[in-house]
Amino acid sequence: MTDTGLLRVELQCVLCGAAHRPTVDASVCPRHEGLTGILDVIAPGDGTRSGAGSDPLDRYRARLPLPPGPRRLPSGYLTATPLLPAPRLAADLGVAELLVKDESRNPTGSLKDRASALAVELAAHAGFTDVACASTGNAASSLAGACAAVGLTARIFVPASTPVGKLAQLAAFGARVMLVRGSYDDAYDLCEEAARAFGWYDRNCAVNPYLMEGKKTCGLEIADQLGDAGADWVSVAVGDGCTVAALGKGLAEMRLPRSPRLLAVQPAGAAPIARAWERGSEDIVPVPARTVADSVSVGAPRNAVKALRAVRASGGAFLTVTDDEILDAARMLGTLAGVFAEPGAAAGIAGVRRARAEGLIGPGDRVVHVVTGSGLKTATSVGAAFPEVAPTLDAVRAVVGLG
């Protein structure tokens, strides 16, 4: 477990700046309370160069903490996800251009696949047989899928309230799941304790410094796809803070001439990072999380410091949106862009609408929105009230109203 140097990166504590050895199982800086001493990965290489191919772990290999030697997951397990112009949604939002980065195309339907693929490469390389994570759903299913692809055991801790679609995915991949009686925060703490006790590799994205580098590939890819034209904003919903921080890191590493600002959007019922932003502080006051956007329903976020700094460094902003605005945004994404997003993955669109109303985003702006996960996983919560008809043309005519 101590193959120092193999990963060819440096680790640095975000709180005190102390350097740490890049072992495969590196965790937090012990000088700080609990799990707050998050480490940051300082990657080598030239950020403006990309390799060939579509799989981001191949394409951006030079900038990732991948172990040496052949990959465990087949090349193509991850693929580049598309960045799709959505002119009708842009018109509805009142911006010049709206581009949807559709992360629901990932192997298990969410951006989390990028981090889990990296975790599985590291765990398998270091000889672990079990990989653990706590999750509101997407991180769990992504880990379960990647583990099944290479033959590792996924140990999953989810709140007992996790949507059925997400549990069904875990069952399909043969993951070992604990339904924890409690919140996501309870599941998280229990997972950390169990991983230490049983010697499981830790896939939690705040504590394991490498995993954010997997998510970073989404930012690298967006920058690659935007090219020199760049964009004004990238909007995304925020829960633990890892994803927005990783997007910011990836975008910054590519040094676009017109690098986008981050619009970091939290549901009003789970907005502890946005509240800290408003206070100009890095101190988080935990809240009881309550929102329809289960994938970002986090009351005690683990990566708030990195998130706050990434948004600030980009010249961006945090804001909050209501659950009604989130559900409306999901409808807009589906009907005006043809992308079926889970509520958490639509929150950023609600944020764009609000930022446009407040003048933060201008009518001439070019905006990227990241759909972090598929709406299929939460589909049972969507009511579909369609007309039932007898198999006759007259019955259809009555419904269509064409006489």
Q: Binding segment for a copy of itself among 8-16, 203-211, 237-245, 335-343 (CB under 8 A)?
A: 335-343
Q: Which of 90, 34, 161, 168 is nearest to 333 (CA)?
A: 90
Q: Rule CB under 8 A: say whether 12 interacts with a copy of itself.
A: no
Cβ pair 343, 326 in contact under 8 A? yes
**What is the length of the chain?**
403
Q: Which of 330, 352, 367, 371 touches a copy of itself (CB under 8 A)?
A: 330
Please report how close the Cβ of residue 396 comes to a copy of itself at its closest, in angstroms: 5
Say whether residue 85 binds a copy of itself (CB under 8 A).
yes
Going by DSSP bridges, is the β-strand pair 83-85/153-159 parallel, antiparallel, or unpaired?
unpaired
Q: What is the largest CA-CA distance in the chain?
A: 76
Interface with a copy of itself (CB under 8 A), residue from 17, 30, 69, 392: 392
Q: Other C-beta atoms within 10 Å of 85: how many?
A: 13
**Is residue 96 a contact point for a copy of itself (CB under 8 A)?**
no
Stretch that binds a copy of itself, among 147-155, 201-209, 301-309, 318-326 (CB under 8 A): 147-155
Tokens encoding 52: 């060939």
CA distances from residue 97 to 94, 105, 106, 251 in whole angstroms, order as listed: 9, 22, 24, 19
Q: How far is the CB of 198 from a copy of itself (least distance, A)?
A: 6
Per CB under 8 A, the list member of 164, 229, 285, 357 interacting with a copy of itself is: 164
Q: Contacts with a copy of itself in 167-196 (CB under 8 A)? A: 167-174, 176-182, 186-187, 189-190, 193-194
Question: Which range, of 211-219, 286-294, 360-368, 394-402, touches a copy of itself by CB under 8 A?
Answer: 394-402
Stretch that binds a copy of itself, among 62-70, 271-279, 348-356, 387-395 (CB under 8 A): 387-395
Can you tell me the distance from the alpha carbon of 128 to that of 122, in angstroms, rounded to the nearest whole number?
A: 9
Binding mask 42-61 for a copy of itself (x = CB under 8 A): ------------x-------
How far apart are the C-alpha atoms of 156 and 163, rounded to whole Å?
14
One DSSP character per residue, 280-295 reads: T-S---------S-GG
Using the contact rule CB under 8 A, the part of the chain among 150-158, 257-265, 272-280, 305-313 near a copy of itself is 150-158
Cα(42)–Cα(27) distance, rounded to whole angstroms? 15
Q: How far is the CB of 154 from a copy of itself (least distance, A)?
A: 10
Instruction: Determine if 151 is a binding residue for a copy of itself (CB under 8 A).
Output: yes
Strands annotated E in 103-175 = 130-134, 153-159
109 Ramachandran zone, left/alpha/beta (phi>0; psi -120 to 50): left
Binding segment toward a copy of itself, per CB under 8 A, in 37-45, 253-261, 300-308, 386-394: 386-394
229 binds a copy of itself (CB under 8 A): no
State in angstroms the smallest separation of the CB of 381 from a copy of itself: 8
Residue 344 contacts residue 377 (beta carbons within 8 Å): no
Of 67 and 373, the one with the shorter C-beta distance to a copy of itself is 373
